[in-house]
Chains A and B, each alone.
Chain A
Amino acid sequence: MAYSSQSAQPVAVRPTTGGRPAATARLRRLLPYAFMALPVIYLAVFMFWPLGRQIWLSFTRTRLANPNRSEFIGLRNYERLFDSPDFYSALYVTLVYSALAVVIGVAIGTVAALALNRPFPGRTLVRAILLFGWAVPNVAAALVWLWIFNERSGVLNSIVTSLGLERISWLTSTDMALSSVLLVTVWQVAPFVMLVMLAALQSVPQEVKEAARVDGADALNIFRAVTLPHVMPTLQLVSLLVAVWSIRRFDIIYLLTGGGPIGSTSTLIVKLRQVAFENHDLGLASAYGVIGLILALLVAAIHAAFNRRRQKGQS
């Protein structure tokens, strides 16, 4: 931050001729924009223009066959959306999926971080193995999990039948599909939570823990009074990230179930693709996407509000 405070001072661009200080001053003021111009223009063209256009499409009738021609119809797509049971189903699936991904993923990831925070032989290897789910690409993860879940020959059903139970339709029954998708999601998300939480746990001041121990506090009390408050901001950040990722997640759900059976794993974002590319209805698809975006923004806003309150509490 040393520099920000003096950025108005002539530092980098010095008047070489000494004759035109006013012109150099202006140049200096423009310098930041010279650095920012390319990345900003890039994002405007390939991120924010498409995003704005997608939001606008939700107020139009547009077909996939001719995506550049659309007719403005006001809020009609949203009326159709709020009248459709598919929408409420997708909203419900999104909320349940995201909430459970956060709760289970963060819980398992944090427990794993606590387990790895104590030294034991082979810790580096264990840590590497636990990170697999996070590092493996979505498509490869989907392929192996589809095989694990395979109804006739998959390993899960081999175990189930060897216990004398009926085969389970892991991905093809409305009862099980969302749970199975969640299992894979937790496998992918928990390692990430573990990684971040482990870093937070390792930064807990040891002297404070030691002092509490000397004062006669037991492990549970130390955890509650020292460790937990220290890692709370990280726990909250990582929950926010998992929530936002769950709302926007597409690949793994689509590859495992395609959103089925009967929409039981169709989140808003999976539904968006289906309505756009199978029903060719870009207007309605965009309305699904806009609701998904609003959900993600809401989560981010809640996180920001929490942050502000905590900062106020500290000062």
Chain B
Amino acid sequence: MNRLTSATRSLLHILLIVVLVIFGGFPIYWMATTALSTNAELYNTGQVPWPQLSNLPAAAEELAKLPLLRWLTNTGIVAVGTTLLSLILGSLAGYGLSRFRFHGKGIIGFLLFMTQVVPEALILVPLYAMFISLGLLNSLTGLVLANVGFSLPVAAFIIKGAIDAVPYEIEESAAVDNCPRISVLTMIVLPIIAPSLAAAAVIAFFAGWNEYLFAATFLMDSSLWPASVGLASFIGQYETPLSAVMSSALIFSLPAVVFFLLIQRKIVAGITAGAVKG
């Protein structure tokens, strides 16, 4: 085993990478290929295993019949709301946990970690009941409020980790000028940790973007559906051409893929501090 020549080793290395690339990349490739196929090919004559760009106009026409834009708008609203609320509350908690010592700090840290263990499905029914009473059922606001419960602790962990690395002397110079502590946070500390703040924003944004269970349960009105629920409604129904389903899935995935690739290293840093995306 350890007497392999370096040539064999390189070959095995390449082979391993090829297998991994096929396993990891094939579903996306297949999504694109299917998006550029007609239903006749897919169900009768057999799928052409490469993307047929000549089918693009027909595919675009089918795609235009779907309410994808409205779904994506709803998704955008939920994602932006989730991000803003998570960042505001997460900055307060992250700063508090990083810069102060106080009674109950250990418990609060533990409870923040606990939220990452709780299954969404476990608080689904009580939230549902609560939203009935508050009139928040069937509203995007309710959905945002539910999402933030999970993304706020993640934002808090990332922001706390980033503030821990900022030397306190930077704040002292501001304190001399009698600046209120909250302004120290917003005007001095947060700009310094902007890269981490951006990573926390991306994570919260796509937690809201991808979320399915709460949205599927709390929103009855199909005009309020985000894309996750709209796309899931294609499962088991055959009126919509599969090419249109796959192109919407591709469009829905694209922003998430691009941004997760951009901040991948930051997420690793966040992981070791707390726990992230599940």
Binding site for B on A (CB under 8 A): 1-4, 7-8, 11-14, 16, 29, 31-33, 35-36, 38-40, 42-43, 46-51, 53-54, 57, 64, 67-68, 108, 111-112, 115-116, 118, 120, 126, 128-148, 152-153, 155, 158, 187, 190-192, 195-196, 199, 218-220, 234, 237-238, 241, 244-245, 247-251, 254-255, 269-270, 272-273, 276-277, 282, 285-286, 289, 292-293, 296-297, 300
Contact = CB atoms under 8 A, between A and B. Distances in A.
B123 A51 contact: yes
A144 B2 contact: no
Given A219-B2, A272-B121, A292-B119, 16 more contacts: A3-B99, A4-B100, A11-B172, A32-B101, A36-B108, A115-B17, A115-B20, A132-B27, A135-B256, A136-B28, A137-B209, A138-B212, A144-B34, A147-B242, A152-B43, A286-B125
A254 B264 CA distance: 27
B139 interface: no
A12 B132 contact: no
Contact of B126 (A35, A50, A219, A247): A50
Contacts of A196: 268, 271-272
Interface string B101-121: 110010010011001111111
B156 interface: yes
Given A51-B118, A132-B28, A35 B93 contact: yes
A195 B268 CA distance: 7
Interface stretch (B62-70, B142-150, B191-199): B142-150
B31 A244 contact: no
A219 B175 CA distance: 55
Contacts of B172: 11
Contact of A7 (B97, B101, B120, B132): B101
Given A7-B100, A12-B171, A153-B43, A249 B28 contact: no
Interface of B: 1-2, 13-14, 16-17, 20-21, 23-25, 27-28, 30-31, 34, 42-43, 46-47, 49, 89-90, 92-93, 95-97, 99-102, 105, 108, 111-112, 115-130, 132-133, 145-146, 148-150, 152-153, 156, 164, 167-168, 171-172, 175, 178, 181, 184, 206, 209-210, 212-213, 217, 227-228, 231-232, 234-235, 242, 245-246, 249-250, 252-253, 256-257, 260-261, 264-265, 267-268, 271-272, 275, 277-278
B121 A269 contact: yes
A129 B24 contact: yes
B50 to A, nearest CB: 12
B160 to A, nearest CB: 11
Contact of B268 (A42, A199, A255): A199
A292 B20 CA distance: 33
A54 B122 contact: yes
A38 B271 CA distance: 24
B175 A12 contact: yes
Contacts of B150: 47
Nearest to B250: A140
B24 A48 contact: no
A57 B34 CA distance: 46
A131 B2 CA distance: 30
Contacts of A147: 30, 34, 242, 246
Contacts of B234: 143
A43 B47 contact: no
B130 to A, nearest CB: 7
A133 B27 contact: yes
Contacts of B112: 43
Nearest to B210: A137
Nearest to A244: B117
A292 to B, nearest CB: 6
B176 to A, nearest CB: 8
A144 B246 contact: yes
Contacts of B152: 39, 42-43
A1 B165 CA distance: 9
A80 B58 CA distance: 55
B246 A251 contact: no
14 contacts: A11-B172, A12-B184, A38-B89, A39-B156, A54-B123, A54-B125, A67-B126, A68-B132, A118-B13, A131-B260, A136-B27, A144-B246, A153-B46, A289-B119
A191 B24 contact: yes
A50, A64, A67, A196: which has the most chain B beta carbons within 10 Å? A50
Given A32-B100, A143-B246, A148 B115 contact: no
Given A67-B128, A132-B24, A251 B30 contact: no
B31 A144 contact: yes
A13 B181 contact: yes
A139 B232 contact: yes
B102 A32 contact: yes
A128 B242 contact: no
A263 to B, nearest CB: 16
Contacts of B128: 67
A297 B108 contact: no
